Amino acid sequence: MSAVSLLESEDGVALAQQVRALAADWAPGEPRPEAWRRIGADLGVAGLLIGEEHGGAGVGMREAIAVAQALGRGLTVTPFLPSAIAASTTLLGLGGPGEPARVGALLTELAAGEAVACLVVPATTAPGCLPCLELARLDDDLLVSGSVAGVLGATGADRLLVPVRDGAGLIGLALVGTGPGVSVGAETSLDEGNPVSVVALQSAPAVLLARGPVVADAVQAGLRAATVAIAAELVGAMEWALEASTSYLADRRQFGRQLGSYQALRHLVARMWIDLQQAGAVTLNAAATLDDPDQPEAERDLAASLASAHVRTLAVACLETTLQVHGGIAFTWEHPLHRYLKRAFSLSMVHGTTDHHRRQVARLADLPSPEGEARV
Amino acid sequence: MSTVESPPDAEVDAVLAERVAALIAVHGADAPDLLGARFDAGLAFVHHPVGLGGLGLPAPWQARVEELLLAAGAPAPAPYRNPLGIGTAVPTLLAHGSSALQQRHFRPAWTAEEIWCQLFSEPGAGSDLAGLATRAVLDGDTWTVNGQKVWTSFAHVARWGLLLARTDPDLPKHQGLTMFVVDMQHPGVEVRPLRQATGGQEFNEVFFTDVTIPDAHRVDLRGRGWDVARTTLFNERSAVGARPVPREDGHIAWLADLWRSRPDLRTHEMHGRVTDAWIRVEALRLANERIRQLAATGRPGLEGSGAKVAHTETTQVVTRLRAELDPEAALRYDAWDPALAPPREDRVAGYHYLRSRPYTVEGGTTQILLSQIADRVLGMPREPALAKETPWSEIPR
């Protein structure tokens, strides 16, 4: 438990400022066709975690969370979370010495922002779980059939990473492109800006990227990194909420006074600020712990679940309070609050519920459940 | 230490190492006179000028001195013996006191030969400290003080007190205050212990009847008392220490140990509550560690008020939970007579439950701190208040 740096990465903050400047005039939560070309490719955000040998920046989660925070603050719609974090971290977990050529080529495409990838698992899949499509055999080239619902980031993705398993229980990761036998149908989602989809595969041609235990470890690392990026997005949403609330309280007058002169409301926003400080600190800790090669696996899991459990609770409450501070105006379709609230509430259930992460903290902190063992 | 830029790190480090080695060589690691010798060697407050316990170095070097001393086998300093002397009186006098006051008081405060107390709060001035009524009247070069203070820790053992008094009642309340160093052994000073709900006697009431103070014991100018008090209170609230706090420290460790050692107490509901408490405490520890790291880079933080709000409320949750988890024990108490009470770390859960209730009151109430955050951090519109220029004597009370 050596202390990690809880200060922001300066490079990350500089990049995040570029992201914010670029998207400053974009309406929160509105998809823009040029978003990923400009943020992912032009600013190099797509290849943030991918090594220089594949054309990426080769930096870590401390830089990634600065970008995630900027995207969360502006509610900027990009495939950053599913592609640049979850899928890229998974692929990096398959890399290293003896890296399959197809993995390297895919990372190069992703780093350039030329392709967008997505892990085809239900969005509720927690790190450590691995729902797979069942196949008879794991050949290098195969045809995949089956359907997965509730997938985040599949609309707009053209490289689908599908966990598969053969009859003997051997796990693999199949790469499916777009084309015949592949259909991605967006489901009507609570968060329209970031919808879940049904991915239906019917004898879709696929390449097996890897097989064996390495796949489960890589997917787990990908989902764990995603939970930390989610925490950072939520910190960004809290920043937006605090800014929106304080400026509204300064502008709006009732009973002849600025709303911000009423103590009940002043104290609500003061507590939002305190929560934001804590949310920022646990997220920085999680990112720095994932980046630090000297940290044991259990410590990484703990840092990620601590950030998830704490930030999700604080962020949803913060956005709910933002509605209360604004009154009815914030419940209208025109006001951006509902988009932030839907995003935060949805993300609070992605890759493990808040309660799941709480139980993980209990297990890793050696706080046994009444059965005498930690239940996962 | 890489954040300290000048003078060069290695050079300063060598100087400090040499001084620590010389200190230990002459006095030994555990000698009774070590504290005094540390002061004379400039290793008590490295950021102080030479001759006043320091070496004129940037404050972050103090942590390095502590490391070196610890490595040499010297015991960790014990500021708890004189927390208000070292923690608040010394920094206040450093910023605002005369050279004579600094020369006179720093060394015995550091060695805890002279204990200090802080005479600020009054029965009629708690959160509204600047409204206080204890009067100091100047005649020639002597002040005469009459009034009452309350919630004064260490008053019963203190040799000196930092006294905030009203010198000009017809000025607005913040402008009519002056700070003094008062001799607690003056016959007009009467200290009465204040018994608390825990049975303990940590605080006192202090009565001043015609207590005289030489004008040379005035701290800063007449009418500058509020600025001086702000320095004191700022130092009191910068409670975030110089070294990282380990995970599971204090109350949460006691709770977690109870949970681990008593499977018979475990229920699902309690499991959720214990886990939540653990998460809150760990998140708070990390938030404080971040403040500490920011401070070490010289970046000023306004986070102190927020840390106090979160820390006190979280501690209340933890102490209550620990008591509720073991109800058989929580129905009983150890000792209502403070003379018979065990040391703090051995006290029963019920004691810590009770003692943590006023955490959200003492040292700035949660409500005052939230208002400060709204004002100073978030720049919110001010609450309605009396005009700032209202003379103190015309404020209704």
CB atoms within 10 A of CB A174: 28
* Residues A158 and A184 reside in one and the same domain: yes
Percentage of the residues of chain B whose pLDDT score is greater than 70: 93
Q: By CA distance, what is A256's nearest residue in B?
A: B384
Q: Which domain holds residue B59?
A: 9-76
Ramachandran area for residue A11 (φ above 0: left; ψ -120 to 50: alpha; else beta): alpha
**pLDDT at residue B238, as a whole number:** 54
pLDDT at A141: 87
Asked if A226 and A325 sit in the same domain, the reply is: yes
CB burial of residue B65 (10 Å; 0-12, 13-18, 19+) = buried
Distance separating alpha carbons of residues A206 and B202, to the nearest angstrom: 74
- Segment B307-334 mean pLDDT: 96
H/E element holding B101?
helix B99-110
Task: Name which of B308, B360, B365, B378 to mutate to probe chain A: the one with the most chain A Cβ atoms within 10 A of its Cβ.
Answer: B378
**pLDDT tens string B85-118:** 998 999 999 999 999 999 999 999 999 999 999 9
A151 and A65 in a common domain:
no
Distance CA(A280)–CA(B6), nearest Å, equals 31
Note whether B223 and B235 are same-domain residues.
no
Q: Above 60 in pLDDT, residue B2?
A: no
**Three-class HEC string of B234-272:** HHHHCCCCCCCCCCCCCHHHHHHHHHHHCHHHCCHHHHH
Residue B259 to residue A250, Cβ atoms within 8 A: no
Tens-digit pLDDT profile for residues B166-179: 999 999 999 999 99
B220 and B274 co-located in one domain:
no
B279, B288, B365, B375: best to mutate for the A interface, most A CBs within 10 A: B279
Does residue A338 sit in the same domain as residue A221?
A: yes
Would you say residue A95 lies in a domain? yes
- Residue A2 in any domain: the answer is no
- pLDDT tens, position by position, B193-219: 999 999 999 999 999 999 999 999 999
Q: Which residues of chain A have pLDDT under 50?
A: 1, 374-376
Q: Residue A299 burial (CB < 10 Å; 0-12/13-18/19+)?
A: middle
Domain containing residue A274: 216-372
Pseudo-torsion of CA B315, B316, B322, B328, nearest 10°?
150
Whether A33 maps to a domain, the answer reads yes
Do residues A221 and A293 share a domain? yes
Please give the pLDDT value at position B231. Answer: 85
Nearest to B278 among A267, A281, A367 (CB): A367
Whether residue A185 sits in one domain with residue A61: no
Q: What is the pLDDT of residues A299-342, one digit of tens each?
A: 999 999 999 999 999 999 999 999 999 999 999 999 999 999 99
Nearest residue, CB atoms, A277 vs list B275, B287, B370: B287
pLDDT score recorded for residue B166? 98
Verify that B272 and B215 share a domain, yes or no.
no
In a domain, B58, yes or no: yes
CATH no. for residue A94?
A: 1.10.540.10
Which CATH number covers residue A187? 2.40.110.10
A247 lies within 8 A of chain B by CB: no
Q: In this structure, are A102 and A126 located in the same domain?
A: no
Q: How far is A18 from chain B (nearest CA, A)?
A: 23
Chain B residue nearest residue A285, CA to CA? B286
Query: Does A181 share its domain with A126?
Result: yes
Contacts (Cβ under 8 Å, ≥6 apart) of B201: B193, B194, B195, B338
Minimal CA separation from B325 to chain A, in Å:
13
Of B176, B201, B228, the position where a domain reaches its end is: B228
User: Are B300 and B275 within one domain?
Assistant: yes
Residues of A in contact with B382 (CB under 8 A): 261
Summarised one tens digit per residue, pLDDT across range B295-316 is: 877 665 566 789 899 999 999 9
Catalytic choice (B18, B66, B113, B236): B236
Of B210, B228, B246, the one marking the end of a domain is: B228
| Final residue belonging to a domain, choices B228, B255, B278 | B228
Higher-confidence residue of B234 and A213: namely A213
Residues within 8 A of A (CB atoms), B 322-381 only: 367, 370-371, 373-374, 377-381
The answer to whether residues B224 and B254 belong to one domain is no
In a domain, A1, yes or no: no
> For residue A260, which residues of chain B lie inside 8 Å, CB to CB?
374, 380-381
| Domain co-membership, A67 together with A163 | no
| Nearest residue of chain B to residue A267 (CA atoms) | B370
Average pLDDT over residues B241-269: 92
Residue A350's CATH number:
1.20.140.10
CB A28 within 8 A of CB A12: no
Say if A332 falls within a structural domain: yes
C-alpha distance from B307 to closest chain A C-alpha (Å) = 8
Together in a domain, B270 and B321: yes
Same domain, B153 and B205: yes
User: CA of A3: which chain B residue's CA is closest?
Assistant: B244
d(CA B219, CA B162): 9
Contact check, Cβ <8 Å, B290/A274: no
Q: Is A178 an 8 Å CB contact of chain B? A: no
Residue range B222-243: average pLDDT?
77
Same domain, A168 and A180: yes
Residues B237 and B220 in one domain: no
Output the six-digit token pair for B155: 């008053």
ipTM of the complex: 0.95
pLDDT at B233: 81
CA distance B173 to A111: 64
Q: How many CB pairs under 8 A join A and B?
A: 136
User: Are residues B206 and B244 both part of a single domain?
Assistant: no
Statement to judge: residues A247 and A296 lie in one domain: yes
Interface of B with A in 191-250 (CB under 8 A): 244, 246-247
Instruction: Using CB atoms, pick whichever of B279, B294, B370 lies closest to residue A267.
Output: B370
CB A335 within 8 A of CB A29: no
Nearest residue in chain B measured CA to CA from A278: B287
Q: Is B306–A372 a contact, with Cβ atoms under 8 angstroms apart?
A: no
Total domains, chain A? 3
- Asked if residue B86 is part of any domain, the answer here is no
Quote the minimal CA–CA distance from A37 to chain B in Å: 35
Measured between alpha carbons, how far is A342 from A192 in angstroms, rounded to an integer? 8
pLDDT at B327 over 70: yes
Residue A23 lies in a domain: yes
- Interval B270-300: pLDDT, tens: 999 999 999 999 999 999 999 888 887 766 5
* A76 in the same domain as A20: yes
Contacts of B384 in chain A (CB under 8 A): 257, 261
Final residue in a domain of this structure, among A111, A133, A158? A111
Q: Is residue B109 included in any domain, yes or no?
A: no
- Annotated catalytic residue B236: yes
Q: For testing the chain A interface, which of B269, B270, B274, B290 should be mutated: the one with the most A CBs within 10 Å?
A: B290
In this structure, how many other beta carbons lie within 10 angstroms of the beta carbon of residue B23? 23
Tell me whether residue B354 is in a domain.
yes
Q: Does one domain contain both B214 and B276?
A: no
Report pLDDT for A374.
Answer: 47
B282 interfacial to chain A (CB closer than 8 Å) = yes
Res B55 pLDDT > 60: yes
**Per the domain annotation, does A140 fall within a domain?**
yes
Give which of B257, B369, B258, B254 is closest to B311, Cα–Cα: B369
Is residue B297 included in any domain, yes or no? yes
Segment B151-170 shows an average pLDDT of: 96
- The residue among A150, A181, A212 that closes a domain is A212
Q: Taking a contact as any Cβ pair under 8 Å apart, which residues of chain A between 252 and 291 contact chain B? A: 257-258, 260-263, 266-267, 269-271, 273-274, 277-278, 280-282, 284-285
Residues B283, B348, single domain; the answer is yes
- The verdict on B188 and B290 lying in the same domain is no
Q: How many domains does chain B have?
A: 3
Burial class, B245, CB count within 10 angstroms (exposed 0-12 / middle 13-18 / buried 19+): middle
> What is the domain-level CATH number for residue B340?
1.20.140.10
- Checking if the pLDDT of B142 tops 90, the result is yes
Contacts B290 to A, Cβ<8 Å: 6-7, 277, 280-281, 284
- Give pLDDT, residue A353: 96
| Residue A221 forms part of a structural domain | yes
User: Of A144, A178, A212, at which residue does a domain stop?
Assistant: A212
- Residue B141 reports pLDDT greater than 90: yes
pLDDT computed for residue B295 by the predictor? 80
